[in-house]
Structure 1
Amino acid sequence: MANWNSIPKELVTKIAEHVNLYEDFENIRLICSCWRSAAKEARFKGEPSIATDEHTLPWLMLPEKDNTSNRRRLYSLSNRKIRHMHIPNSLIKGGNINQKRVLSSHGWLLVTLDSNNFSLYNPYSGTTIKPPKIELWYNGHRQFGYCHNKFILSANPSTTSNFVVFLSLEGNVGYQTSPILVFWRSGDDRWVPVVDPAHPHPELRLSVTFRGFFDSVCHDITFYQGEFYGVSCRGVIVEFQTLYTYPYFRQVTKLPELPAGKRRDNCREHWLYYLVESDNQLLVVRHMLWADEKTPHRRNIKFEVLDLNVRVGFVKKVESLGNRAIFIGSNSSFSLQVTPNQHGFKPNCIYYADDRITGRWVRRGDECTESCSYDLTDGKCSTFYHGSSKPSSVSQFTWVESPSLSSN
């Protein structure tokens, strides 16, 4: 058997510099510690965006029928192949099956076991971070529990110890409870809830008012220029002021009302919203779809991109993303530079990973997969995954960023 450690470091570095796919580059780093050290000194010429962006090219994590399994499948758009990732048994076994979710941000996974038991896990290094338990301030969540809807990191814990975790929590499917927004700074001993500024007594954190931003689900959250921003299902965009004693939020803008949803047979027009930082801009992605009200089927129609000025609340339409691509879905949204005709991605495109959960969107029937890429150049949707996987009641398609070159 060959001794991989005996190969000269300089030769391994040269090999690493001549691979074209990041999957191959990452595999070189996994062979042994000597190869990982050599790869760190290599310049991966096949992917310039890794050196210039905070984010990295993602794989698509596919839904699993049995969420008790510690195996997850990652689909590569570069070579159309599936690789397997394993989550430690200690993070996935036991607990309530209806609350198990795996979300991703900066390549890290939020692995939930139940309402108060979850961990941050780096599937590439095997590192685990255990945040403190979340206190349940609201009686409805204490009684029925909640699920994690969004998981956002302010920075990659692999490259800095100074990071913030922001979570959007909802009542479990079938229960009408108020949303909870909380964040945790690394090193702190507790989570901090976001307080509605309309509440007359902010120190009384048991009540949540259902007006303005809190009158609908927080559909997406992103980190932009030192602060977190959120958008509701009704187009209300807020800045979370996490540096205050009582973390309020301020309304940045409410997107203009769109015409009432058109109907065609049993279908109705719907709009969903996402936030993403892109090249020092805060962009709003508006997703239009047709949803059949009697079946689980729905069809993506188009996506629009708006540039948001967070100081004055004005938005203007973005006609082109240039050499960048946007990734949205159940995970935290992000953008990065892509090289044309390489690695399975195209510039000036939006890559949408179907973020539905069966129990929330439909009441009967089989799910249909609606993940797609949308080209802003010609306004056409294309399917980038042709497999048989479908979202389940606790598992959906999720973008998982590949590890950055500076990660251990």
Structure 2
Amino acid sequence: MSEWSDLPKELLQTIAKCLDSRVDVLRLRSVCTSWRSSVSFPSFDEEIPPLILKLPQPIGIDAVLFHATICRMEFSHQNANSSSSESNSKGWLTKIRVSKLGKLKLVHPLSDYPIMYSPFTLNLLDFRFFELSKAFMLKFPFGFPLYEVNKVVLFPISARCSKYEISILAIYHEGKLGYWKYGDESWTLLDDKNFQYDDIIEYKGQFYVVDRWGTVSWIDSSLKLIQYSPPLFGCGGQKNLVESCGDLYVVDRYLDGERRTWNDYENLDVNFPARRRTYRMCNPNATDFRIHKLDEEWGTWVDVKSLGDRAFVLGVDCSFSISSGDFFGGKGNCIYFTDDDNFKGKGLSSDSIRVFRLENHIIEKVTTLPEYSQIFWPPNFGLTGSNSAPKFNVSDLLKSLSAVMKA
């Protein structure tokens, strides 16, 4: 290890510049004291400027673009309570934000709310992080989610955008698809005939959107929409796009009531954020799901009856797929999600998380299913009595984590 620790500072800095993920830079700095002193920690400013974005009408609100990384978090060494190397290779699902001071702030992967043991400093010599997905969200400067914007992504996604080069694709007002870049005085509406878009995803280096009829379209570099799939004509009320093992899926969510549309925002007073939050949070809840995979060769939709060991996670800012075998207590063939009504403006608790099991089409609270709940960090999140993960006291663990992020 002494030979590695003696690598020239210039070489380490060159390596760090090639890393797109902030988590990878943090892991690089955690190898040893010499590496940590040679590689500066990338502040939030260097990746996505913490600017107040003055969004034009019809939103007309000052907002901040937040960025997070969805990760699998696992111990980097053999845990004393682990009975085998197989169990030690498993981890937990978490979402990471990085402050200007270099501390890791953990938020729940299904939402953007801090978990109860966050923020604190993690010793990256004790943990390893594996990036699963990126997530973006527009919020008010004082931290509340901007409910007029249903989904937002950077266009194109860049790990190192300069200060005034932010540009975004967004679904707002329950279905309008728009583009905006820093300095624009108005949104560019990408489709002035269809106000029924549900989700955006980056898939194979390109951006795709799906509308409420299940039609997937590709957004090219000139912001032109090109139809990519035939309509699904699914009967559900909300569509999500998920990439899993190289394939593109549409998750069709069936609801117990009608969703709002862009018409509901036409007469809404944009000068009262509190009124907008109350208005936006009254959404119908999920009653069932159907999953469809796009057969790109034949251009047809295939009904999916089982996900095998895979599980889909439908978050408020991104949707992704995981292998259940990579997580403590992980179970495949299911969908993790939360209904918007469960936030109540107070943050997300474990009681808000739902699990949909494809084998029986039953939706249950994760608190009633310990075998499904252990994938989330911290372990035993709102639960007790599970044998799926190593046993340790969270308070004692936090006390034992040393601060290694100091320059």
| TM-score for the superposition, normalised by structure 2 | 0.47
| TM-score for the superposition, normalised by structure 1 | 0.47
